[in-house]
């Protein structure tokens, strides 16, 4: 069947494939294209969407891409960087400044087909450095945004020219935090572009099964099966396409698993009918030996990834599987966050994107049947494949496991006295009027700002405030204090002395304590019926001595999300917070307890 199609031009932003995924959910086929693609390739589409970009800027020199696209008689919608490019191409100007992060209110200035069915004020999501400051003669301002009650209006957040059929949003309608962003996309795709909805997920499943059979041919697949949602769906999908006798599963216990995780994983795969060719290796000592002395997050990720592959190759050779294709449950955030597309910035290295894996991909030795999907699509696919709900909807768990939730340190502070005092003063200026006070922590964590990787300090705040005030105060800190990408609310005793980093690396003893803390958090969520509602809740250990006590600062990180590309902090019930405070602070060696309030952006879901 021929489908009406929309082209999404990927300028390297995190959200390019999310735009396509959102459009597909309108039952309209969307395909990713590159900005250098010949103009002729776009003529089969009904419209075009320009994505954002971390690597390009509309400020200053012209960006290098095929600008003949603008001569096509097709509607074009630009988002973030794409919005700025449309404004600039048609005579507007772009400045470097007036950046915004997180939620904002879009004030719609006039009735327009793009906003059909919407209110005059809509919540949207911002993540940008550059801004449109004026428009060309053919364009009009359709809306402006306001970040909070203390912010000036951000002009030209929505622009358009009905004559040229060119439109731009500074915000990201494709992310779930733009509450009615999907309506805006539908108004563009089905209204302005005139697309008929005719594509569905069932078609995608059939096409994917055929693709797997074509790629694998007469070979078999050896899949690294962690037991998480992605690898489980990938295993069942491969089994459906090839038959279970041609799918061999290798589960490696790297010593970084949750409590009794491997036992549960093996049981689940057997119940799914994939136990005949299921292989188990306890490699915990090997991983722990490899991680000795490793401190930096990227170093740990590379070690874990390389050790995975070394064991995979050894086990493959031992069992005669070296000629098999390597299967992985990689999903799109894994590739986009490691710079896997042409312009994407590396936010973090995933164990399934280390250099050895990249070489195997180039050699055609890897099959990743879920690489185009986001977590919510993977879950839906799992349901279609008949996988039990408790497996499909379990919370995501990173491939490197607790290795990226156990922060390490050489014992030196990331802040000198002058830097600490300066950041403390800036943080408390931002907190004025909130009945809160804060300090920067002398360690760093990974974040993401305007699609770019950041490695900056968390702020630790304390005091009594409502949930809304806590989130609002955290938002002010991100906006006003440079060098801060997280905000943690102190749930432990009130600070009275110093916060000092301690020398610490990955050890079995630290992991066992983290496993116990993680189990307490997971049991708490389960007892309060929140395992399905909370997207993910990492429990993180940071080697910090607080007020001369303990060696592990424990942080809980409950978030709400659908696709992992954006996230907001989840509010836990007061009774659960009380229970977790009592249970976690009673563990041996715990110096304090924090509640991560950070949205994504500016912080990633995991701390490393």
Structure confidence at residue 354 (pLDDT): 55
List residues bridging with 279 in a β-sheet. Answer: 250
Rounded CA gap, 136 and 134, in Å?
7
CATH of domain 409-596: 3.30.300.10
Domain boundaries defined on the chain: 5-192, 201-401, 409-596
Q: What percent of the chain has pLDDT over 70?
A: 91
* Range with the poorest average pLDDT among 115-129, 246-260, 403-417: 115-129
The more confident residue out of 90 and 322 is 90
Report the DSSP pairing between strands 278-282 and 247-253. Answer: parallel
| Contact assessment for residue 157 and residue 114, using Cβ atoms and an 8 Å cutoff | no
Instruction: Kindly report, residue by residue over 198-239, the tens digit of the pLDDT.
Output: 877 777 788 899 999 999 999 999 898 888 899 999 999 999
Question: Which candidate, 320, 306, 308, 356, places its Cα nearest to that of 220?
Answer: 320
* Third-level CATH fold of 201-401: Rossmann fold (3.40.50)
Active-site annotation holder among 17, 80, 112, 190:
80
Rounded CA gap, 327 and 224, in Å?
7
Give yes or no: 107 in active site: no
Band of residue 319 on the pLDDT scale cut at 50, 70, 90: confident
Give yes or no for residue 342 having a pLDDT over 50.
Answer: yes
DSSP result, 177-222: TSTTHHHHHHIIIIIIS-------HHHHHHHHHHHHHHHHTT--EE
Band of residue 54 on the pLDDT scale cut at 50, 70, 90: low
Number of Cα atoms under 13 Å in the Cβ half of residue 45 = 25
Give the largest Cα separation in the chain, rounded.
Answer: 70
Band of residue 309 on the pLDDT scale cut at 50, 70, 90: confident
Instruction: Kindly report, residue by residue over 371-391, the tens digit of the pLDDT.
Output: 877 777 888 899 999 999 889
Give yes or no for residue 506 having a pLDDT over 90.
Answer: yes
Quick check: do 5-192 and 201-401 share a fold?
A: yes
Instruction: Kindly report, residue by residue over 121-164, the tens digit of the pLDDT.
Output: 999 988 766 788 899 999 999 999 887 767 778 889 999 999 99
In the sheet where 247-253 sits, what is the strand order?
Answer: 278-282, 247-253, 221-224, 325-327, 366-367
Report the DSSP pairing between strands 166-169 and 154-161. Answer: antiparallel
Structure confidence at residue 422 (pLDDT): 96
Q: Which runs of E-coded beta strand occur in 209-336?
A: 221-224, 247-253, 278-282, 325-327
Band of residue 356 on the pLDDT scale cut at 50, 70, 90: low
Give yes or no for residue 58 having a pLDDT over 50.
Answer: no
Active-site annotation holder among 85, 100, 122, 174:
174
DSSP result, 27-89: T-EEEEE-TTS-GGGGTT-SEEEE---SS--SSSSPP-S-GGGGGSSS-EEEETHHHHHHHHH
Rounded CA gap, 511 and 400, in Å?
13
The region that residue 26 occupies, defined by phi over 0 for left and psi between -120 and 50 for alpha, beta otherwise, is: alpha
Q: Is the dihedral of CA 353, 359, 365, 371 positive or negative?
A: positive
Structure confidence at residue 450 (pLDDT): 57
| Contact assessment for residue 495 and residue 523, using Cβ atoms and an 8 Å cutoff | no
Burial class of residue 89 (count of CB atoms within 10 Å of its CB; 0-12, 13-18, 19+): middle
The region that residue 564 occupies, defined by phi over 0 for left and psi between -120 and 50 for alpha, beta otherwise, is: left
| Contact assessment for residue 255 and residue 511, using Cβ atoms and an 8 Å cutoff | yes
CATH of domain 5-192: 3.40.50.880
Instruction: Kindly report, residue by residue over 11-47, the tens digit of the pLDDT.
Output: 876 678 789 888 988 999 888 888 899 999 999 999 9
Structure confidence at residue 549 (pLDDT): 93
Give yes or no: 254 in active site: no
Which residue's entry shows tokens 């700002």? 449
Give yes or no: 172 in active site: yes
How far, in Å, are 33, 76, 416, 495 from residue 133 at the CA level?
Answer: 29, 20, 39, 44
Rounded CA gap, 369 and 212, in Å?
7
Q: State pTM to two decimals.
A: 0.72
What does the block give as tokens for 434? 């909130």
Give yes or no for residue 61 having a pLDDT over 50.
Answer: no
Rounded CA gap, 359 and 367, in Å?
13
What does the block give as tokens for 160? 């358009």
Torsion of CA 366, 261, 297, 128, to 10 degrees: 80
Structure confidence at residue 13 (pLDDT): 63
Active-site annotation holder among 112, 172, 248, 251:
172
Structure confidence at residue 355 (pLDDT): 65
Give yes or no for residue 332 having a pLDDT over 80.
Answer: no
User: Across the chain, what does the average pLDDT equal?
Assistant: 89
Instruction: Kindly report, residue by residue over 69-90, the tens digit of the pLDDT.
Output: 999 999 999 998 899 999 999 9
Peptide bond into 74 cis (omega under 30): no
Burial class of residue 2 (count of CB atoms within 10 Å of its CB; 0-12, 13-18, 19+): exposed
DSSP result, 131-179: EEEE--TT-EEEEEEESSTTSPPEEEEEEEETTTTEEEESS-TTSTTST
What burial letters (b/e) apply to 221-257, b meaning 16+ CB within 10 Å? bbbbbbbbbbbbbbbbbbbbbbebebbbbbbbbbbbb
Burial class of residue 366 (count of CB atoms within 10 Å of its CB; 0-12, 13-18, 19+): buried
Q: Is the dihedral of CA 71, 73, 74, 78 positive or negative?
A: positive
Report the DSSP pairing between strands 47-50 and 5-9. Answer: parallel
Give the helix/strand (H/E) hosting 346.
none
């Amino acid at each position: 069947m021929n489908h009406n199609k929309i082209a999404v031009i990927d300028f390297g932003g995190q959200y390019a494939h999310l735009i396509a995924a959102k459009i597909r959910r309108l039952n309209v086929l969307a395909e990713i294209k590159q900005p250098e693609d010949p103009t002729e390739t776009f003529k089969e589409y009904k419209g075009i969407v320009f994505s954002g970009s971390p690597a390009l800027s509309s400020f200053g020199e012209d960006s290098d891409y095929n600008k003949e696209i603008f001569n096509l008689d097709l509607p074009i919608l630009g988002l973030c960087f794409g919005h700025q490019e449309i404004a600039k191409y048609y005579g507007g100007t772009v400045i470097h400044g007036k950046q915004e992060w997180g939620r904002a209110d879009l004030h719609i200035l006039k009735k327009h087909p793009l906003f059909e069915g919407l209110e005059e004020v809509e919540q949207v999501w911002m993540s940008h450095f550059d801004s449109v400051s004026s428009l060309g003669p053919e364009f009009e301002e359709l809306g402006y945004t306001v970040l909070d009650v203390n912010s000036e209006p951000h002009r030209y957040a929505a622009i358009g020219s009905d004559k040229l059929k060119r439109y731009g949003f500074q915000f990201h309608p494709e992310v779930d935090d733009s509450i009615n962003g999907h309506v805006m996309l539908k108004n563009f795709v089905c209204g302005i572009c005139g697309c008929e909805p005719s594509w569905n997920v069932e078609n995608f499943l059939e096409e994917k099964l055929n693709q797997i059979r074509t790629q694998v041919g007469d070979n078999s697949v050896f899949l690294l099966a962690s037991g998480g949602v992605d690898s489980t769906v990938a295993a069942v999908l491969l089994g459906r396409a090839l038959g279970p006798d041609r799918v061999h599963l290798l589960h490696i216990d790297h010593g970084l698993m949750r409590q009794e995780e491997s036992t549960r994983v093996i049981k689940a795969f057997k119940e799914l009918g994939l136990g005949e060719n299921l292989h188990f290796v306890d490699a915990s000592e090997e991983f722990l030996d490899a991680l000795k002395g490793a401190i930096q997050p990227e170093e740990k990720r590379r070690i874990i990834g390389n050790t995975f592959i070394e064991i995979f190759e050894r086990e493959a050779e031992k069992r005669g599987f070296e000629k098999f294709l390597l299967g992985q449950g990689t999903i799109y955030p894994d590739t986009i966050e490691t710079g896997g597309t042409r312009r994407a910035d590396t936010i973090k290295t995933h164990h399934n994107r280390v250099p050895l894996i990249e070489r195997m991909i180039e050699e055609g030795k890897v099959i990743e049947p879920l690489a185009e999907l986001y977590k919510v699509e993977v879950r839906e696919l799992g349901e279609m494949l008949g996988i039990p709900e408790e497996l499909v909807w379990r919370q995501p768990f990173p491939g490197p496991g607790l290795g990226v939730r156990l922060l390490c340190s050489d014992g030196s502070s990331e802040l000198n006295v002058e830097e600490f005092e300066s950041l403390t003063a800036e943080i408390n200026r931002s907190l004025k009027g909130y009945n809160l006070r804060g300090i920067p922590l002398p360690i760093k964590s990974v974040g993401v700002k305007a699609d770019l990787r950041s490695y900056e300090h968390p702020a630790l705040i304390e005091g009594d405030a409502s949930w809304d005030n806590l989130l609002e105060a955290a938002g002010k800190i991100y906006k006003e204090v440079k060098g801060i990408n997280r905000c943690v609310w102190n749930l432990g005793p009130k600070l009275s002395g110093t916060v000092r980093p301690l020398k610490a690396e990955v050890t079995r003893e630290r992991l066992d304590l983290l496993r116990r803390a993680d189990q307490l958090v997971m049991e708490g969520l389960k007892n309060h019926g929140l395992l399905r509602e909370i997207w993910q809740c990492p429990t993180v250990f940071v080697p910090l001595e607080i007020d001369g006590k303990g060696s592990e600062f424990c942080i809980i990180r409950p978030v709400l999300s659908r696709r992992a590309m954006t996230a907001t902090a989840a509010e836990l019930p007061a009774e659960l917070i009380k229970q977790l405070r009592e249970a976690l602070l009673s563990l041996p060696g715990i110096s304090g307890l924090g509640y991560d309030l950070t949205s994504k952006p500016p912080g990633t879901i995991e701390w490393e």
